[in-house]
């Protein structure tokens, strides 16, 4: 399969169609689940899909080692290339990783303002024209309303779409009747898109809880393939 | 006197520049009673530390050459191989690592694990060198040995365990707590030579007990006896030492010592740890390659009754001629005996055999297996293997990377010209990554190496050690040419007018090859080219790769397939087919969309977070790609890929951008395609040069 064809069809198009064509620039989306369900894999797949379409992505992580994140990208790329039988995979890989930067923060208690400061430095001084930012593993309920507003202004001004992953507390997180996790109830108005990941039988399925103006739980007909950790259609 | 091999240690002290390695070495020499006063590296008294034998190193406060020094500590013979900390001298580091049995990784208690420590550590891992860590400079403001230990775990993946605790830090650093013996150790007297062992101060006891337990838990993994003793509550010091030793030798444990070499604290305890935990030569597996048996691996035995096998790992020009440092792996080398150099295939007699103490030497009559010694007046190159009794071994061939940068040099006068020739001859023998040749086109002498600093140091050495004043040209990157698409050829070489004729036709195609530089495939069926001429075709194609037509650099990554051709019963010859192949390649190359490749360096920069933006900017301005950045509070690091051609003068730029607070390291990563605009410039420059040469 050639790259353009891969971009035209596939589970990520289903993903976007179920949230009105995608998160969209200037908007904030959240992927939420309890720990160890596959949020990082989902985010990396979303980011890799952007890279395949020549978008620029900054991946913000709070891991001990950057290598760990790079390995996620390598694995997801390999799985996609294998599954879709991608032509010229080596060349495409080398080309698209130029459009990806990983920014790792491993000091404890990094504030969102510090993260934004570094992002600004990367985008202005580093001249990196980011289209999407992925923030994996930051507790957004720690962000004050004031700081969250600043963050919203920043991504609107820079015309960026921003995905957060949020780890829900506990083994059995509580969801309200609208499907909103309790941990995120106070933040829901600030978010444009909220997607939850849940075990259903032996697989993890994706559900839209908030789709821009629509607040109504909806199955995305997508799941995580437990072997490859890719987002795939749930047939 | 017979040497007890179990009491022999070959160790390297490896570290980042400025973590105090040279000072530490100096103190070690002092406490081992071989030198009589202590000198500072930057020479307040103008004498300089003993290990830094080269002028240049004295001036820069860094150590470039790996001189070997022998000392004795409590009945143990320790050979210290001083390894350079700068990445530009990688081959020197790697060759030193080859002969080490263990190493002390010196880290600064303030700066911690820095980019170059990571590189050096990776090399040690590659050569399976067991390590102990020494957290130095505990007297400095901001000293935090626990942070450094954690960085060893996080950044280098070591199972680092503190076996000592500091008594006071910064200006209150007084001594250490030995977590094995659970005693306090103070270093008294003007030079810290009087050791006082007392009970642990009351205020530190609680913490020491806790850390003692932690240490026991970690090291008991390596000894069932210790684990049993812990359960029965009769743990002895020997059991703990034994467990730490086992863990260290298996490279699954890194004991962490600490102190301040400058303030004479913790050096003797480090020496104790070195002799206790690092291996003796018989505990290390050394492999040689049998040249008579298809380079089959042979395990060497560290015993005296086996024939000699030794490796020349370092050459030095001394006052009395060439000095060759050797590591003996097998047998005993005796003065007056005969050895055979397996590379040059020449026999030679062992004349003077010596042991080196920095710049002073001691004559010896024999060098034992496992030991390090030096020979006088042996004509050889570093990396050569010396054997005896008909063996034909070579020590594991070391990976020698191809040079990525070259520089033209021109002597300023006649005297300099002679000296320059001597110096170049010496340097290329010492360092396989340093090469030199005369460019037949420009008639200039070219030197090649692994980086700007690498070559700069040699130019400086020429001036200082050989009194050769040279003018240097602009650094030149080692570009490559390659093809980007398949192209067919069908070429006839014909010269049949008068005399003996020439005739050959070759047909086929060339295509890009992703792995390797060149491949030749013969798909001729029915003998359209007779088999006897096929090697000539191969040779013709191969010779065409030496110089591309775009900018005159070698062509890499080409697969040639021939599938048709024609010969003439009288006029065909090897020569005719070689010319035909070369012609065919030249013709097809143009149509195979040739491109220019340039060396891309992996660059790691670190500095205070306040300069993050400047660092990002400096990479962006150099066509670099930022792969990742890591923010650790006040300190940040950036990993990037940057073309070598853009890295000239980077150290100066970085210094001015960050008030000298950031530093970087770089190493060759891969060859990458040159962007179109720059490629056009390079081609235009080359054509211009060609025209000029033609006009001459």
What is the pLDDT, as a whole number, of residue B231? 87
pLDDT digits (tens, 9 = 90+) for B571-590: 889 999 999 999 999 999 99
B49: CATH:
3.40.50.300
Tokens read off for B1: 């006197």
In order of B447, B455, B481, the CA distances from B553 in angstroms are 16, 21, 6
Pair (B342, B434) in one structural domain:
no
Q: Considering B395, B427, B447, which residue would you say is the last residue of a domain?
A: B395
Label residue B45 by pLDDT band (50, 70, 90): very low
pLDDT digits (tens, 9 = 90+) for B164-200: 999 988 888 889 999 999 999 998 888 888 888 899 8
pLDDT > 60? residue B568: yes
E strands, A75-224, in order: 100-105, 132-136, 161-168, 193-200, 203-211, 214-224
| Strand-pair partners of A200 | A203
Q: Determine the distance in angstroms separating the CA of B457 from the nearest CA of chain A, rounded to an integer.
A: 32
Torsion of CA A221, A222, A226, A227, to 10 degrees: 120
Q: Does residue A103 belong to the interface with chain B, where contact is any CB pair within 8 Å?
A: yes
Tokens read off for B276: 């206790």
Name the percent of chain A lying above pLDDT 90: 64
Label residue B538 by pLDDT band (50, 70, 90): very high
CB atoms A66 and B639 under 8 Å: yes
Tokens read off for A158: 């820079």
Pair (B429, B568) in one structural domain:
no
pLDDT digits (tens, 9 = 90+) for A76-114: 999 999 999 998 888 899 889 999 999 998 766 788 988
What is the pLDDT, as a whole number, of residue A205? 92
B610: CATH:
3.30.70.240
pLDDT > 50? residue B595: yes
Mean pLDDT confidence for B497-522? 89
H or E stretch at B339: strand B338-341
pTM: 0.66
What is the pLDDT, as a whole number, of residue B34? 53
CA B267, B270, B276, B279 dihedral sign is negative
Q: Residues B167, B173: contact at Cβ < 8 Å?
A: yes
Mean of per-residue pLDDT scores for chain A = 91
CA distance linking residue B594 with residue B480, whole number of Å: 10
Pair (B661, B622) in one structural domain:
yes
What is the pLDDT, as a whole number, of residue B66? 40
Q: Does residue B675 belong to the interface with chain A, where contact is any CB pair within 8 Å?
A: no
CA distance linking residue B364 with residue B673, whole number of Å: 56
Provide the edge-to-edge strand list for the sheet that holds B102-108: B68-73, B76-82, B8-15, B102-108, B131-136, B254-258, B160-162
Higher pLDDT, B84 or A178: A178
- Residues present in chain B in total: 696
Q: Residues A13, A21: contact at Cβ < 8 Å?
A: no
Task: Delineate the domains of chain A, giving CATH numbers in brackets.
Answer: 3-233 (3.40.50.300)
Q: Does residue A176 belong to the interface with chain B, where contact is any CB pair within 8 Å?
A: no
From the number of C-beta atoms within 10 Å of its C-beta (0-12, 13-18, 19+), residue A168 rates as buried
| DSSP line for B424-436 | HHHHHHH-TT-EE
Pair (B487, B535) in one structural domain:
yes
CB atoms B631 and A128 under 8 Å: no
Tokens read off for B416: 């300099």
In order of B160, B211, B271, the CA distances from B163 in angstroms are 9, 8, 14
Pair (B439, B474) in one structural domain:
yes
Q: Residues B551, B596: contact at Cβ < 8 Å?
A: yes
Pair (B574, B612) in one structural domain:
no
Q: Does residue A118 belong to the interface with chain B, where contact is any CB pair within 8 Å?
A: yes
Tokens read off for A161: 């779409």
Hey, which residues 307-346 in chain B have their CB within 8 Å of chain A? Answer: none
H or E stretch at B312: strand B309-318
pLDDT digits (tens, 9 = 90+) for B127-144: 888 999 999 888 888 888
What is the pLDDT, as a whole number, of residue B522? 94
Q: Does residue A89 belong to the interface with chain B, where contact is any CB pair within 8 Å?
A: no
Q: Considering B395, B419, B451, which residue would you say is the last residue of a domain?
A: B395
Chain centroid to CA B149: 25
Which one of A60, A115, A119, A125 would you mutate to disrupt binding with B, by most B Cβ within 10 Å of its Cβ?
Answer: A125
Longest dimension (CA), chain B: 105
Mean of per-residue pLDDT scores for chain B = 84
- Number of domains within chain B: 5
B339: CATH:
2.40.30.10
CA distance linking residue A111 with residue A151, whole number of Å: 12
Q: Considering B478, B508, B539, which residue would you say is the last residue of a domain?
A: B478
In a domain, B685, yes or no: no
Name the percent of chain B lying above pLDDT 70: 89
CA distance linking residue A196 with residue A38, whole number of Å: 11
Task: With beta carbons under 8 A apart, name residues in chain A contacting B653.
Answer: none
Lowest-confidence pick of A20-29, A76-85, B40-49: B40-49
| Strand-pair partners of B434 | none
Pair (B472, B494) in one structural domain:
no
Closest of B6, B306, B283 to residue B130, by C-alpha: B283
Residues spanned by the domain of B307: 287-395
Q: Which residues of B342-357 are buried (b: 16+ CB within 10 A; e: fewer)?
A: beeeeebebebbbbbb
Q: Determine the distance in angstroms separating the CA of B643 from the nearest CA of chain A, rounded to an integer.
A: 13
CA distance linking residue B15 with residue B573, whole number of Å: 60
């Amino acid at each position: 399969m050639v790259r353009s064809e891969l971009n035209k069809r596939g589970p990520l198009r289903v993903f976007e169609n179920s949230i009105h064509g995608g998160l969209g620039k200037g908007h904030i989306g959240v992927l939420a689940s309890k720990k160890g369900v596959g949020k990082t894999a989902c985010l990396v797949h979303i980011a890799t899909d952007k890279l395949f379409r020549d978008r620029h992505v900054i991946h913000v992580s709070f891991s001990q080692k950057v290598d760990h994140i790079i390995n996620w990208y390598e694995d997801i790329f390999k799985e996609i290339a294998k599954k879709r039988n991608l032509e010229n995979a080596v060349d495409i890989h080398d080309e698209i990783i130029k459009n990806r930067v990983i920014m790792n923060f491993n000091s404890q208690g990094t504030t969102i303002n510090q993260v934004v400061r570094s992002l600004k430095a990367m985008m202005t001084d580093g001249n990196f024209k980011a289209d999407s930012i992925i923030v994996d593993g930051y507790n957004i309920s720690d962000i004050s309303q004031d700081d969250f507003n600043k963050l919203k202004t920043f991504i609107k001004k820079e015309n960026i779409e921003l995905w957060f992953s949020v780890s829900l507390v506990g083994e059995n997180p509580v969801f309200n009747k609208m499907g909103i996790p309790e941990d995120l109830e106070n933040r829901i108005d600030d978010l444009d898109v909220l997607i939850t990941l849940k075990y259903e039988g032996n697989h993890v399925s994706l559900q839209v809880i908030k789709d821009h103006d629509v607040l109504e739980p909806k199955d995305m007909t997508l799941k995580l393939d437990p072997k490859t950790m890719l987002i795939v259609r749930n047939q | 006197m017979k040497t007890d091999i179990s009491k022999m240690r070959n160790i390297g002290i490896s570290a980042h520049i400025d973590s105090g390695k040279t000072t530490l070495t100096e103190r070690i020499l002092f406490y081992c009673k071989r030198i009589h006063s202590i000198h500072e590296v930057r020479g307040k008294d103008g004498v300089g530390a003993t290990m830094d034998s080269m002028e240049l190193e004295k001036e820069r406060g860094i150590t470039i050459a790996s001189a070997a020094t022998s000392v004795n500590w409590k009945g143990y013979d320790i050979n210290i191989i001083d390894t350079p900390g700068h990445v530009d001298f990688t081959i020197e580091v790697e060759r030193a690592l080859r002969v080490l049995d263990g190493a002390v990784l010196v880290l600064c208690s303030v700066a911690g694990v820095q980019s170059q420590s990571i590189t050096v550590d990776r090399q040690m891992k590659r050569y399976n060198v067991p390590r102990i860590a020494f957290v130095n400079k505990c007297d400095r403001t901001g000293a935090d040995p626990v942070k450094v230990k954690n960085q060893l775990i996080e950044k280098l993946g070591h199972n680092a365990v503190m076996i000592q605790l500091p008594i006071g830090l910064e200006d209150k650093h007084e001594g250490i707590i030995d977590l094995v013996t659970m005693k306090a150790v103070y270093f008294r007297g003007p030079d810290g030579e009087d050791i006082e062992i007392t009970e642990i101060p009351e205020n530190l006891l609680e913490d020491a007990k806790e850390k003692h337990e932690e240490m026991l838990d970690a090291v008991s993994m390596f000894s069932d006896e210790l684990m049993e003793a812990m359960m029965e509550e009769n743990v002895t010091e020997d059991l703990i030492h034994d467990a730490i030793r086992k863990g260290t030798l298996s490279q699954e444990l890194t004991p962490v010592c600490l102190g301040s070499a400058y303030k004479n604290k913790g050096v003797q305890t480090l020496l104790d740890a070195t002799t206790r935990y690092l291996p003796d030569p018989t505990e290390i597996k050394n492999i040689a390659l049998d040249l008579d048996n298809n380079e089959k691996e042979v395990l060497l035995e560290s015993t005296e009754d086996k024939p000699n096998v030794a490796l020349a790992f370092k050459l030095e020009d001394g006052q009395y001629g060439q000095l060759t440092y050797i590591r003996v792996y097998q047998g005993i080398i005796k003065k007056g005996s005969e050895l055979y150099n397996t590379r040059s295939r020449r026999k030679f007699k062992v004349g003077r055999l010596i042991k080196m103490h920095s710049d002073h030497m001691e004559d010896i009559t024999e060098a034992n297996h496992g030991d390090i010694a030096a020979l006088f007046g042996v004509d050889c190159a570093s990396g050569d293997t010396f054997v005896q009794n008909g063996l034909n071994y070579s020590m594991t061939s070391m990976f020698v990377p191809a040079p990525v940068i070259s520089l033209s040099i021109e002597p300023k006068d006649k005297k300099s010209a002679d000296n320059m020739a001597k110096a170049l001859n010496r340097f290329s023998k010492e360092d396989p990554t340093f090469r030199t040749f005369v460019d037949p086109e420009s008639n200039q002498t070219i030197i090649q190496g692994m980086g700007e600093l690498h070559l700069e140091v040699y130019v400086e050495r020429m001036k200082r050690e050989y009194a050769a004043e040279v003018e240097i040209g602009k650094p030149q990157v080692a570009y490559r040419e390659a093809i980007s698409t398949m192209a067919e050829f069908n070429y006839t070489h014909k010269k049949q007018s008068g005399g003996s004729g020439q005739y050959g036709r070759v047909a086929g195609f060339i295509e890009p090859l992703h792995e390797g530089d060149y491949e030749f495939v013969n798909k001729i069926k029915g003998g359209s080219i007779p088999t006897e001429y096929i090697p000539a075709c191969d040779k013709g194609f191969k010779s065409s790769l030496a110089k591309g037509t775009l900018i005159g650099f070698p062509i890499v990554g080409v697969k040639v397939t021939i599938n048709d051709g024609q010969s003439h019963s009288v006029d065909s010859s090897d020569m005719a087919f070689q010319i035909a192949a070369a012609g065919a390649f030249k013709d097809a190359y143009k149509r195979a969309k040739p491109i220019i490749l340039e060396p891309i360096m992996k660059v790691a920069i670190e500095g205070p977070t306040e300069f993050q933006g400047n660092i990002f900017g400096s990479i962006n301005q150099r066509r670099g790609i930022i792969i990742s950045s890591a923010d650790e509070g006040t300190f940040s690091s950036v990993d990037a890929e940057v073309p070598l051609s853009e890295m000239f003068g980077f150290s100066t730029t970085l210094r001015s951008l960050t008030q000298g607070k950031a530093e970087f390291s770089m190493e060759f990563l891969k060859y990458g395609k040159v962007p179109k605009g720059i490629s056009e410039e390079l081609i235009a420059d080359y054509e211009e040069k060609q025209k000029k040469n033609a006009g001459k």
